[in-house]
Amino acid sequence: MESKPKTDLSTEKVIEIRNLNKAFGDYRVLESASLDLHKGENLVVLGKSGTGKSVLIKIIVGLLSPDSGHVNVLGQSIETISYADLLELRLRVGFSFQNSALYDSMTVRDNLEFPLVRNRRDMGRKEVDALVEEMLEAVGLLQAINQMPSELSGGQRKRIGIARTLMLKPEIMLYDEPTAGLDPITSKEINKLINDVQARYHTSAIIITHDLTCAKEVGNRVAMLVERRFDRQGTFDDIFNAGDAQAQPFFDYNFIR
């Protein structure tokens, strides 16, 4: 298995996090955490359960407020942004949920149209139909357009969830455990889709995962969340070939030798 090749990534930062702190009561989740996402980059965030990975992306989209520190997303300061501007910003950031979050009472077509109904009422029927078909074609499931979510496999639901996230053509994609609960073959297909989305739509992405195969195949760069902060960042090989005592058990759990 090869690591995702290094690419000449932009130095432009689409997300900038500095000295981020977040606690729930006496339980400190993030402490002096700093992280950058560059334009066009797939950045994988690794960490054990309960280390604050999901809290991080909720702060990025303004679902949680930081206790202190600085979070800048696409030039907007999350700490000071108005609610109206936050709603506009969220249209530029796509969130692919771990469970796909499809509406079971809607067909695949209706699920994909839903973000447009809420946010792009200026679009005509032909434009909507063309966009739905484009996104289903992009994830390889155009034939499922009239099916119900209950008729789809777990991997297909993941693909449809990603297609729906792409409907508003976000600049940033946030993937929460994209291969969780999937078999190895389907996981590999999802990894390829994440790379295809990056190449086709020029997205920048944060991918939260426990799956080191996913991390190796999709990540231009990996950031490990250890003891509430990002102390280890680099390519997959930079981190896991360095004999790091904290990283190695994580590797051994995924790749038993």
What would the mean pLDDT of 219-229 be, rounded to a whole number?
88
Fold observed for domain 13-254 = Rossmann fold (3.40.50)
Whole-number mean pLDDT of the chain? 88
Q: Where are the domains of the chain?
A: 13-254
Which residues are registered as beta bridge partners of 38? 13
User: Quick one: average pLDDT of 196-225?
Assistant: 93
* Mean pLDDT of all residues in 142-156: 93
Say whether pLDDT at 175 is over 70. Answer: yes
Q: How far apart are CA 81 and CA 127, in angstroms?
A: 32
Residue 257: pLDDT band by 50, 70, 90 thresholds? very low
Give the pLDDT of residue 203: 95
Does the structure show a pLDDT above 90 at 250?
no
Give pLDDT, residue 38.
Answer: 96
In contact, 20 and 66? CB cutoff 8 Å: yes
The model's confidence at residue 249, banded by pLDDT at 50, 70 and 90, is low
In the predicted model, what is the mean pLDDT of residues 72-76? 95
CA distance 253 to 175: 22
* pLDDT band at 52; cut points 50, 70, 90: confident
Taking the CA atoms of residue 204, residue 170, residue 193 and residue 229 in that order, the dihedral angle to the nearest 10 degrees is: 40
Average pLDDT over residues 27-51: 90
Task: Provide the pLDDT confidence category of residue 199 given band limits of 50, 70 and 90.
Answer: very high
On the question of pLDDT at 89 being above 90, the answer is: yes
Instruction: Give the pLDDT mean for 237-241.
Output: 82
The yes-or-no verdict on residue 198 having pLDDT over 70 is: yes
Q: What percent of the chain has pLDDT over 70?
A: 89
Best CA proximity match to 36, nearest among 206, 202, 226: 206
Residue 128 has pLDDT above 60, yes or no: yes
